Chains A and B, each alone.
Chain A
Amino acid sequence: MFEISEINKRNQKTQKLFQILFMMMTVLLIMPVVAILGMLIYKGGSIISVDFLFSNPTNGMTAGGIFPAIFGTVWLVAVALLVSVPIGVAAAIYLSEYAPDNWLTRIINLAIINLAGVPSIVHALFGVGAFVIFFGFGTSILAASLTLAIMTLPVVIVASRESLQAVPLAFRMACWNMGATRWQTIRRVVLPNAVSGILTGVILEVSRTTGETAPIMFTGAAFFLPFLPQSVFDQTMALSLHLFVVSTQVPGVPEDLPYGVALVLIAMVLIMNSLSIAFRMYLRGKKKW
C-alpha cells in the first residue's frame, strides 16, 4: 500500500529541487549583507573606541572622533519622527476609518504610494524651496528634519493604514452596534490592536532617515562644525554626510576612518531596529485574537 510509484518519485524530486533552489536564492541574498558587515568590521573595527565616539574631529577631519555627527544624526531623526509619526498615523486613521470609498480617496491613496517612489534628491530640492527659503528656517535641523519627514511620510501612512485595516471589521461592527462613536471604537479597539503594525512603519522610517544624505545636505547638514547645535534652528553635522565627506572630499584621511564611520552608522540603525523589533514582538505576544 505504501510502495513508491513512478509519479511519487518524480513529485518528490521536483519538490526537493525547488526547495534547494529557494534556499540558494536566500543564501545569495544574505551574502552581500554579510560581506558588507564583515568588511566594515575588518577594516574599521580597529578605530572604534570611546574616544572615537565621543570627541570632535581634528586635523581637518583626518583624525579625532565623530561625536558631532552622531549627535546631529540623533537630532535629525528624532525631530523627523516627532513630525512624521503623528501626522502619518492621523492621516492613516482618516483614510482607513473615516474616508468614504470614492474616487477622490482612491486618488489620494494612489498619490501616497507614488510619493514613496519620489527620489530623495527631489525631496531635497523641495525642502530647500519650501523650508529653507519660503518658510525662512534657513539651513537648520528643523528644515532638514522636515524634509526627511516629508520623504518618509508615505511609508508611515501606508504601513499604518494596512495595519489598521488588518483589524477585523467585525470588531468595529460590534462596537458601533453598542452605540460607540467612530472615535471611541478607534481608541478602545482598533488602535491598540494596530500598534505593532504601525511600529513596523516607524522602524522602516528610522532606518531610512538615519542613512539618507541627499535630503539633508542642502537643508541643514554641515560639512564641518566646530560646535554642537544649540537648537533646531542651528546647522548640524550628520553621520551620513560625514561619511560622504571623509570618503571623497577631504585629502589625507587614513583608510580606516571612513570604514569606522560607516560601521557606526550601520550599528546605529541595527541597534534602533533591534530595539523596535523587540518591542514589537512584546506587543505581538499580547496579540488579542
Chain B
Amino acid sequence: MSEARVKLDIRDVSIYYGDKPAIENVTLDIKEHEIFGIIGPANAGKTSFLKAINRMDMFTTNMEVRGDIYFNGYDIRKARNIYALRSRIGVVFPLPVGLPLTIYDNVALAPQLSGIKDKAELDIIVERCLARAALWDEVKDRLNSLGSLLSGGQQQRLTIARALSQEPEVLMLDEFSIAVDPVTTMRIEDVLKELKSEMTIILVTNLVQQANRLADRTAFFLEGKCVEIGETEAMFDGKVEHQRTLDYIQGKFG
C-alpha cells in the first residue's frame, strides 16, 4: 500500500456555512485504488467534505471552503475547468436520483455531454456500465422506460451506472445504502470490490460494519473533526488512538 500514488491530497481543509464550521482542519490523503471509508455520526461534516472535493460548494449558498485540495497533484481550488474535474469524479447520493429520462439516457447522458454522438459507441457504454452496476439483466428489455420509475434499489444501481459512465477516476458514495434493501446493498458492495482495481473509491457510510467489510483505510469524523485515520482491519481489532473511535465502532454512541 505504501508505494501507491496519492490520488487526493487534502491539507488543512475547513468548511464554513456562514460563521458555523462544518469541518475543521482536516488533513488526509487518499491513495489510488483504495477504498477509503469515512464513518461518523450525523452532522460530522462527511457530506460537506465530499462536496468540497468536486467543488459543489459553488452551488451551495453560504458554503465556504478553506485549505488546499490536490487532485492528482493539481490544486482544485485553482482549476479553471471545474467541469472536467467533476466529470472525473462520480457521485452517488444517499437517496437515489433517477433522472426523469429513459434508463438508456440516464447512462448515456454523461458521455453525450462530453461529446460522444455515435449511437453504436453509446450502446456499448450503456451496456457495459449497466452490467458493471449489476443492473443490466434486470433492465435490458426495457431500456426505453423511465429511470425514475424503477424501484429504489434499482435506481441506486442506475445512479452507480450513471456515475461509471463518466469513466471516473474517483467514485464518491454518500451513504448509498440508506434507501436500499439489504440484498441490493450486498450486490452493490460486491460491485465496489471489483471496481477498486480501476478507480479510487471514497465510501461515506453510516454503517460501521460496511466500512469494515469494504474499506482499506477508514477515517472517523466526529463533530466536524477528523478524529483519526487508520487501517480498517487494525481499527476494528481495537488498535485505535482515541477511546471515542472505539466507542463509536462498538456502537456505544451513534
Contact = CB atoms under 8 A, between A and B. Distances in A.
A171 B99 contact: yes
B243 interface: no
Contacts of B6: none
B100 A179 contact: no
B100 A288 contact: yes
Contacts of A193: 100
B113 A179 contact: yes
Interface string A91-107: 00000000001000000
B93 A179 contact: no
A181 B93 contact: no
Contacts of B232: none
Given A184-B113, A288-B100, A177 B148 contact: no
B146 to A, nearest CB: 5
B110 interface: yes
A171 B91 contact: no
Interface stretch (B66-74, B79-87, B200-208): B79-87
B87 A170 contact: no
A101 B90 CA distance: 28
B56 interface: yes
Contacts of B59: 173, 176
| Chain B interface residue number, banded | 20 to 34
Nearest to A169: B59
Nearest to A182: B59
Nearest to A286: B146
| Chain A interface residue number, banded | 10 to 19
A289 B159 CA distance: 15
Interface in A171-188: 171, 173-181, 184, 188
Given A176-B86, A179-B87, A171 B56 contact: no
B109 interface: yes
Interface in A233-289: 288-289
A179 B84 contact: yes
Contacts of A181: 83
29 contacts: A170-B93, A170-B95, A170-B97, A171-B99, A171-B100, A173-B56, A173-B93, A174-B162, A175-B109, A177-B89, A178-B86, A178-B87, A178-B90, A178-B109, A178-B110, A178-B162, A178-B163, A178-B166, A179-B83, A179-B86, A179-B88, A179-B110, A179-B113, A179-B166, A180-B110, A181-B83, A184-B113, A189-B99, A289-B148
Closest 3 pairs (CB-CB, A-B):
A179-B87, A288-B100, A179-B86
Given A170-B93, A192-B100, 18 more contacts: A101-B61, A170-B95, A170-B97, A171-B99, A173-B59, A177-B89, A178-B86, A178-B110, A179-B84, A179-B86, A179-B113, A180-B109, A188-B113, A189-B100, A288-B146, A288-B148, A289-B98, A289-B146
